[in-house]
Amino acid sequence: MSDKPDINQSLAHPAQQKVFNLLEKLISSVPISKETVSNTPEERARDIVRIAGIKAGAVSATLALAPGPAGLLTIIPDLKKVWDIQQQMVSDIAACYGKSAQLNQEMMVYCLFRHGAAMLARDILIRVGERLILKQGSLRVIQNILKHITIHLTQKAIGKSISRWVPIIGPIVVGGYSILDTRSVGKTAIETFSREIEIEIEVEESFLPQGHPAKEKLWQNKEENHG
């Protein structure tokens, strides 16, 4: 049985709904980068990742200093601040590779969460040889992906929350996790933007009139997949 959550699973827990709303707001816009195209983009990107990791670790460790129940209240603010840092990092990496124009909502979601929700990768980006094909989906597709990520993240956050009850060591553990998480995001971004990227617009079949060539192509693909 697959451990992938049902896309129709409701976000019953208030914390899950808060995280989902936070994710929606997070990807509603892509931050502007001041980075210029680099002659040595991989080297520059690694510097960007290193600096972002230090910032994320410091933020998480500082917020985790609050003891006991007060520390638990900092989990969502911690997520937001770290995601803001990581989102800017991804934007800067795209810019130093000259790929800012290809950084959209789907690409941002992919870079931020692929390492923690790999089973969702095929819903956004597929690799064909040395090329990457980005699926530019509908709002419904994006919301389903964010719902999966929300469920995964809240389950993981519950497991990590015990660290916030441990004085001194707790902030070190939480800060260290944010550093490693940011490095993973940076690694995905570097691997992604160092390749050729094509954008494929995914069309909802129900929106296409009968006899439309794109609709016939969708049916043809379905028959081939089930043949």
46 versus 170: the higher-pLDDT residue is 46
Contact 94, 112 (CB under 8 A): no
Q: Which amino acid is at 136?
A: Q
Domain membership flag for residue 89: yes
The identity of residue 112, as a single letter, is L
Mean of pLDDT values over 7-14: 58
221, part of any domain: yes
Q: Does 41 reside within a domain?
A: yes
Residue 2 lies in a domain: no
Higher pLDDT, 181 or 150: 181
Other C-beta atoms closer than 10 Å to the C-beta of 7 total 12
Residue 219 in any domain: the answer is yes
pLDDT band at 5 (very low <50, low <70, confident <90, very high): very low
pLDDT tens profile 74-90:
788 888 999 999 999 99
Position 11 confidence tier, pLDDT thresholds 50, 70, 90: low
The residue type of 89 is: M
**pLDDT surpassing 70 at residue 160:** no
pLDDT of residue 120: 61
Number of domains in the chain: 1
pTM equals 0.75
Asked, for residue 115, whether it belongs to a domain, the answer is yes
Strand partners, 199: 134
Domain of 148 in residue numbering reads as 14-226
Residue 26 is assigned to a structural domain of this protein: yes
**Does a structural domain hold residue 18?**
yes
CB 168 within 8 A of CB 38: no
